[in-house]
Amino acid sequence: MSICNVDIGDQVLDAARRCLVRNDGRRVTVAEVAREAGVSRPTVYRRWPDMSEIIRALLTREVLGVIAVVTEATPLHTDDLDATIDQIVRVATALRDDDLVAALWREQREFMTPYVFDRLGTSQLGVLKMLSEIVARGQDRGEIRDGNPEKMGAMILLMTQTAVQSRALVDSILGDDWSIELRQMLSGYLRKPGELPDAG
């Protein structure tokens, strides 16, 4: 029974993603999602009370899925700070370019805004935990400056999230150098004072 529930849940989330991307992030209804998924509305309502909860679940899956894809070949937990920073930038770039995330930021700002100003969502908490562990490991290796790993992880999350969300604001200035500047910012924040990245 639990396997069936998981399959139907993914089926509904897949349908919600298709509907939202097709509508360029504009609002869709539970009825539209149920129709797209080929299930009844009561089937959807048994799992989620409304469309907002469907989108929350979908966003969590999307963000964690993007991270999993980007880090499949090269994990975030590497033994090299430069490689780790590169991976964080790759994740940020993938989220910046993700169809669903970009569409929701364009058309459903009121839904997304609380995750900027008011509270951390499930996916953000997962990313924060991962970043805090990265900082702690880097400190153990002597590559990352001293500081509270959780606080530093929170600052990395804040910097990268802001860069992703507000990229359009400075796109005419940064252009293709967006990722280069993000990498420089993260590198400067994490390294011990006076240390420079490897030239190679």
What ranges in the chain are assigned the alpha helix state H? 2-22, 30-37, 41-45, 51-70, 81-97, 99-107, 109-112, 114-117, 122-141, 149-165, 171-174, 178-190
DSSP secondary structure letter of residue 192 = P
Quote the pLDDT of residue 1.
38
User: pLDDT tens digits, residue range 102-123?
Assistant: 888 888 878 777 776 667 788 8
Per-residue pLDDT reduced to its tens digit, 131-148 = 999 999 999 988 899 999
The CATH class of the 1-49 domain is: mainly alpha
For residue range 157-197, what is the model confidence (pLDDT) as tens digits?
999 988 888 877 788 898 889 999 999 999 999 998 766 55
**Span between the terminal Cα atoms of the chain, in Å:** 54
Q: Residue 197: what pLDDT?
A: 59
Here the tokens at position 140 are 């153990």
Least confident of 13-17, 52-56, 77-81, 187-191: 77-81
pLDDT tens, 10-36?
999 999 999 999 998 899 999 999 999
| The pLDDT of residue 52 is above 80 | yes
Q: Using alpha carbons only, how large is the chain's radius of gyration in Å?
A: 19
CA angle 89, 20, 1 (to 5 degrees): 95
DSSP annotation of 76 reads S
Q: Regarding the domain delimited by 52-190, which CATH topology (the fold level of the hierarchy) does it fall under?
A: Tetracycline Repressor; domain 2 (1.10.357)
Domain ranges of the chain: 1-49, 52-190
Q: Which of 165, 159, 149 is nearest to 88 (CA)?
A: 159
pTM equals 0.81
